[in-house]
């Protein structure tokens, strides 16, 4: 059965921002939506979550806005120029250190905006970029990729061998194994972004080859070599 407008789920990002203490009008300004639209979504959320209003009030009472800095304003100027010139947002996997720095700065400003602590100067300056607070799909995919890389690095640092992706394998090993298998497949086909091929090289030497036939487990190798 198709959902009606009354049945529709509220925008979860707006709900999270409201829970964090942001007023309806402030949310509308940040996301570039009509105030009536934001209000409609929040009324649905409030009807379904009796504790939402109390959480909003408590967060709003404790809100402390971060101050803008000279360096931050220059970062903002560079970011706006990049987006307006290229039509895309900076990537945290870019080859350029300057672009990676801008991507990190933008991520922090998004977190400030959602928490209601974004400096007014940043809010005004970034408002020239439509929907800047919501990462484009490509950027969201990039963030998930980075999280997978971190998880795999932690998995290996814990003494585990390269994870397998076979159907009989379950849990964390299977999930990481499938992700790693996809990266290797893309690498062989020439479809893996160069920056994403280099990142694992630094964090996980040997990731391209993986397990060797007849090789003992990574943990056993470390024990025998001790």
pLDDT digits (tens, 9 = 90+) for 94-129: 888 899 899 999 989 988 888 788 888 898 899 898
pTM of the model: 0.47
Dihedral (Cα; 144, 145, 150, 151), 10-degree rounding: 70
The answer to whether residues 137 and 149 touch, using CB atoms and an 8 Å cutoff, is no
pLDDT digits (tens, 9 = 90+) for 4-31: 344 568 888 888 888 888 888 888 888 8
- Residue 131 to residue 136: CA distance in whole angstroms: 9
């Amino acid at each position: 059965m198709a959902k009606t407008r009354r049945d529709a789920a509220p925008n979860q990002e707006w709900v999270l921002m409201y829970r964090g203490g942001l007023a309806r009008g402030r949310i509308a300004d940040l996301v570039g939506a009509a105030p009536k639209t934001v209000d409609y979504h929040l009324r649905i959320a409030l009807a379904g979550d009796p504790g939402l209003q109390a959480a909003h009030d408590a967060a709003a009472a404790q809100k402390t806005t971060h101050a803008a800095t000279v360096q931050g304003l220059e970062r903002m100027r560079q970011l706006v120029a990049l987006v307006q010139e290229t039509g895309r947002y900076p990537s945290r996997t870019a080859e350029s250190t300057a672009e990676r720095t801008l991507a990190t700065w933008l991520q922090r400003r998004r977190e400030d905006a959602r928490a209601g602590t974004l400096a007014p100067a940043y809010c005004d300056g970034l408002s020239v970029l439509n929907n800047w607070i919501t990462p484009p799909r490509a950027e969201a995919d990039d963030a998930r990729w980075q999280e997978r890389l971190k998880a795999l690095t932690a998995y290996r640092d814990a003494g585990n061998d390269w994870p397998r992706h076979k159907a009989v394998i379950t849990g964390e090993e299977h999930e990481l194994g499938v992700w790693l298998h996809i990266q290797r497949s893309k690498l062989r086909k020439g479809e893996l972004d160069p920056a994403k091929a280099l990142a694992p090289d630094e964090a996980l030497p040997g990731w391209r080859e993986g397990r060797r036939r007849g090789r003992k487990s990574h943990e056993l190798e470390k024990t025998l070599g001790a």
